[in-house]
């Protein structure tokens, strides 16, 4: 009898936890709605020179700010290139100095940036993504979880953060093959995903790339901002075709293959929904899986959930 009661208590506690995390993740700042947002993807022309790449990124930020873009997304390893031979010649101090310049530009132009850059930590190289806010702060650094080059070490942390009042997540290239990387943040409130890549130029892989990221949008009912490398530049680049995808899988805007091309669209995050994700998480045989995923997400992104809890508390006090 005692054992049965303990099991029931554990299950009730688990259900309460997942419900609380989902509620807090979805909570918005009091009095604010998720407004339309103009976003852009830049198929950056990369060189083997770190300073020059930073300067190109900054020039694009300035130009997109003039276009009233709120979020500018650059490809995988945009700052450092994706070429291990080039990256190995950089020091982390040099990368940090370039990132500081980009952060200052975001503050100067009042704009968000998401860009890829390799980084060196604890004796290992990681394939990273940085999200910088209009105050010039790095609000999220994500490491690619499923690397394909032996030069890089796999990351091990999911991501959730806010672009203005819109909860968002980020993933890098090969990560798109693993749906849970997006679904878990969606369960916690994410309404858009930023996907940066340097996809293979192999023709037999392009259909896979095309369909997989569209599936992440439709299965989660969210917007996806996909920025891929253009064809050219240091390391040869990729095939381009950066895309902005709505929650029904419709392509709102798409670039061609050329390096340096920019694509823009206005997204409406209020049209995103977590209904399909919540229905899936309610399946009894999968519930523990999603509960554990949300627990890990919360541990790895405490600043997101502490902000959400503060917002809920203030809202309750106002009543």
In a domain, 4, yes or no: no
For residue 229, give Cα distances in angstroms to 1, 65, 182, 262.
61, 21, 21, 11
In a domain, 3, yes or no: no
In a domain, 107, yes or no: yes
In a domain, 18, yes or no: no
In a domain, 95, yes or no: yes
In this prediction the pTM is: 0.88
State pLDDT tens for residues 83-109: 999 999 999 999 999 999 999 999 999
Domain that holds residue 197: 38-318
The number of folded domains in the chain is: 1
CATH at 165: 3.60.110.10
State pLDDT tens for residues 97-152: 999 999 999 999 999 999 999 999 999 999 999 999 999 999 999 999 999 999 99
In a domain, 270, yes or no: yes
Of the candidates 127, 136, 222, 126, which has an alpha carbon nearest to the alpha carbon of residue 183? 222
pLDDT at 206: 73
Length of the chain: 319
In a domain, 1, yes or no: no
For residue 247, give Cα distances in angstroms to 3, 79, 218, 262.
45, 29, 5, 22
In a domain, 253, yes or no: yes
């Amino acid at each position: 009898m005692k054992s049965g009661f303990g099991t029931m208590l554990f299950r009730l506690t688990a259900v309460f936890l997942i419900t609380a995390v989902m509620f807090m993740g979805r909570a918005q700042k009091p009095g604010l709605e998720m407004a339309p947002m103009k976003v852009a993807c830049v198929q950056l022309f990369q060189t083997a020179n770190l300073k020059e790449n930073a300067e190109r990124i900054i020039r694009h930020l300035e130009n997109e700010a003039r276009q009233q873009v709120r979020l500018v997304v650059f490809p995988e390893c945009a700052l450092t290139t994706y070429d291990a031979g080039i990256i190995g010649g950089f020091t982390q101090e040099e990368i940090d100095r370039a990132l500081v310049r980009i952060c200052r530009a975001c503050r100067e132009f009042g704009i968000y940036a998401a860009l890829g850059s390799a980084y060196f930590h604890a004796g290992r190289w990681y394939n990273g993504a940085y999200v910088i806010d209009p105050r010039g702060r790095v609000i999220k650094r994500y490491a690619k979880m499923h690397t394909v080059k032996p030069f890089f070490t796999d990351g091990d942390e999911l991501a959730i953060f806010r672009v203005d009042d819109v909860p968002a997540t980020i993933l890098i290239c090969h990560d798109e093959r693993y749906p849970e990387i997006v679904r878990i943040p969606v369960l916690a409130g994410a309404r858009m995903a930023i996907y940066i890549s340097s996809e293979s130029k192999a023709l037999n892989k392009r259909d896979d790339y095309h369909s997989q990221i569209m599936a992440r949008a439709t299965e989660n009912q969210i917007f996806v901002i996909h920025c891929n490398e253009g064809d050219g530049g240091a390391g040869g680049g990729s095939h381009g075709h950066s895309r902005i995808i709505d929650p029904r899988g419709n392509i709102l805007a798409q670039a061609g293959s050329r390096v340096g091309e920019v694509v823009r669209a206005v997204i409406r995050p209020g049209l995103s929904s977590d209904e399909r994700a919540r229905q899936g998480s309610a399946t009894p045989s999968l519930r523990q899986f999603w509960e554990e995923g949300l627990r890990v997400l919360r541990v790895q992104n405490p600043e997101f959930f502490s902000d959400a809890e503060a917002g809920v508390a203030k809202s309750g006090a106002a009543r």
